[in-house]
């Protein structure tokens, strides 16, 4: 997560930092096996990186990329809205990776157009890391594809229907050009999740009829808007509290679980209905709890639970139920502990299978897969599936915020968008949402709010 997500003392237990502490030395090399011949456009076989967005997600992804095997990787450019972020992250990365960080002052770019300058530092075969917020993801992806650069894009990927379609168009263009695209859905590269889902697909729990996914933990606190503050700056610095910036809590945080659940089902939902609310004004313009009922074409259900409050029970987990048994897809981020049971009672005596070994770090594995595809010139483009997962997550958020049933087709084809001209957006633009006189932002109003 970006630094702005780590403002709560009651931070998520299943964080990237916690995962890396537990997974320890289990890197991609432990999973990849023997090296195979690699190819790359650069004569010295070095893949160059440029990171756009220097928060926790961006620098975490750089660390993961530099932990791969198979050939040299080097960071050569950094871009962000805030110079202090670049300086702090550059110093930390340089201390850890030494000569692998080659970003002199002239390749450190500031501003809303900084992404173009960073991408322009790269050559074919290199990779740009798009790790800003969802509002800016499609336009940056589009530019990278136009320039013929490979992409690693963090979730989430768009904020509304028009920008999802823009993402899909860039994904299709990347495929036509043969570009490699990895996305931040690292759980797709988790051996434990792969193993349990393969067994579910092979009938281990019978006909799948119900899925349950939970991201239930402490809050992200959004303070009151200070007097005289620039609202766009304030909202970008507190991204998960504002739908137009990050897609909001539900999408930006819960889209991992939504993606995995739909992977388990091997389908995307056709409709979403939901309820939620805001108990604490510190949630910004978002609700602090969401419950969504997704329906698939065959009538199967996915129940998504997302809550962000202090002093409440917590879990970060996914479950599947079928006609012949049930499964734990994930017990927590750090170690999924995937299991299958012969009944709906998830107790030891009912267990028929478990993934009982530690797995390689999927944050590194997703990078190993991407960089190997570049070096070996193999097809690798996760962008279209990422866009589909985004549509599903947006359906859930819109259903809760509007109080309406939202279908897949409605969300995908919606013309509603939060920012009319994101390409020309600056700190002087009109804020998409305004604070009340108290400095507090109003939450959505189901039955009145429009998002589709």
Q: What is the pLDDT of residues 410-437, one digit of tens each?
A: 999 999 999 999 999 999 999 999 999 9
**Would 83 be classed as within a structural domain?**
yes
Using CA atoms, how far residue 230 sits from 84, 136, 247, 427, in Å, is 18, 19, 20, 7
**Same-domain pairing of 302 and 408:** yes
**Same-domain pairing of 167 and 307:** no
**Same-domain pairing of 308 and 225:** yes
**Same-domain pairing of 224 and 174:** no
| Over residues 327-342, mean pLDDT | 93
**Same-domain pairing of 102 and 204:** no
Q: What is the pLDDT of residues 133-152, one digit of tens each?
A: 999 999 999 999 999 999 99
Q: What is the CATH number of the domain that holds 266?
A: 3.30.360.10
How does residue 292 score in pLDDT terms, banded at 50, 70 and 90?
A: very high
**Same-domain pairing of 367 and 253:** no
Is residue 25 within 8 Å of residue 364, measured between CB atoms? Answer: no
**Would 435 be classed as within a structural domain?**
no
Q: Which residues have a Cβ under 8 Å from the Cβ of 369 and sit 6 or more positions away? A: 182, 189, 380
**Would 386 be classed as within a structural domain?**
no
| Over residues 264-290, mean pLDDT | 96
End position of a domain, from candidates 351, 381, 411: 381
What does pTM read for this prediction? 0.91
**Same-domain pairing of 371 and 408:** no
Q: How many structural domains are present in the chain?
A: 2
Q: What is the CATH number of the domain that holds 116?
A: 3.40.50.720
DSSP string over 112-124 = TTHHHHHHTT--T
End position of a domain, from candidates 328, 348, 381: 381
**Would 217 be classed as within a structural domain?**
yes
How does residue 20 score in pLDDT terms, banded at 50, 70 and 90?
A: very low
Q: Give the number of other CB atoms < 10 A from CB of residue 105.
A: 8
**Would 429 be classed as within a structural domain?**
no
**Would 443 be classed as within a structural domain?**
no
Backbone phi and psi for residue 56, each to the nearest 5 degrees, phi listed first: -65, -40
Q: What is the pLDDT of residues 32-71, one digit of tens each?
A: 433 333 344 445 789 999 999 999 999 999 999 999 999 9
Q: What's the rounded Cα separation, in Å, for the pair 338 and 180? A: 30
**Same-domain pairing of 204 and 353:** yes
Q: Domain range holding 254?
A: 191-359+391-424
**Would 437 be classed as within a structural domain?**
no
């Amino acid at each position: 997560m970006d630094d702005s997500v780590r403002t709560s003392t009651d931070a998520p237990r299943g964080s990237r930092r916690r995962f890396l502490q537990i997974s320890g030395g289990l890197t991609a090399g432990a999973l990849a096996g023997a090296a195979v011949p690699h190819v790359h456009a650069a004569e010295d076989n070095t893949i160059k990186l440029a990171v756009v967005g220097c928060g926790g997600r961006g620098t975490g992804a750089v660390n993961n990329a530099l932990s791969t095997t198979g050939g040299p990787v080097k960071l050569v450019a950094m871009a962000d809205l805030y110079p202090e972020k670049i300086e702090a992250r550059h110093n930390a990365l340089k201390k850890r990776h030494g000569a692998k960080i080659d970003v002199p002052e002239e390749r450190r770019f500031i501003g809303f157009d900084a992404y173009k300058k960073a991408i322009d530092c790269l050559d074919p075969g290199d990779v740009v890391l798009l790790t800003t917020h969802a509002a800016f993801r499609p336009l940056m992806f589009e530019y990278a594809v136009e320039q013929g650069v490979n992409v690693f894009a963090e979730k989430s990927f768009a904020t509304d229907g028009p920008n999802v379609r823009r993402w899909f168009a860039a994904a299709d263009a990347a495929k036509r050009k043969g570009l490699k695209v990895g996305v931040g859905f690292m759980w797709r590269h988790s051996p434990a999740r792969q193993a349990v889902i393969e067994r579910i697909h092979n009938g281990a729990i019978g006909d799948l009829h119900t899925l349950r996914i939970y991201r239930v933990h402490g809050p992200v606190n959004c303070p009151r808007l200070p007097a005289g503050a620039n609202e766009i700056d304030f909202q970008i610095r507190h991204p998960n509290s504002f739908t137009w910036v990050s897609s909001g809590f539900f999408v930006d945080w819960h889209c991992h679980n939504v993606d995995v659940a739909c992977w388990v089902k091997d389908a995307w939902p056709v409709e979403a209905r939901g309820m939620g609310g805001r108990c604490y004004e510190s949630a910004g313009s978002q609700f602090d709890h969401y419950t969504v009922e997704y329906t698939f074409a065959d009538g199967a259900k996915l129940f998504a639970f997302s809550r962000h409050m202090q002093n409440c029970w917590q879990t970060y987990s996914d479950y599947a139920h079928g006609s012949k048994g049930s499964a734990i897809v994930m017990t927590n981020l750090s170690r999924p502990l995937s299991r299958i049971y012969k009944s709906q009672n998830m107790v030891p005596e009912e267990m028929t299978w478990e993934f009982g070994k530690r797995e390689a770090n999927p944050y590194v594995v997703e990078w190993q897969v991407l960089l190997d595809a570049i070096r070996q010139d193999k097809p690798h483009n996760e962008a279209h599936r990422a866009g589909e997962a985004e549509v599903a997550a947006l359906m859930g958020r819109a259903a809760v915020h509007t109080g309406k049933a939202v279908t897949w087709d409605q969300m995908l084809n919606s013309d509603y968008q939060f920012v009319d001209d994101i390409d020309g957006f600056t700190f002087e633009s009109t804020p998409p949402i305004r604070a009340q006189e108290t400095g507090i932002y109003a939450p959505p109003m189901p039955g009145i709010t429009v998002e589709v």
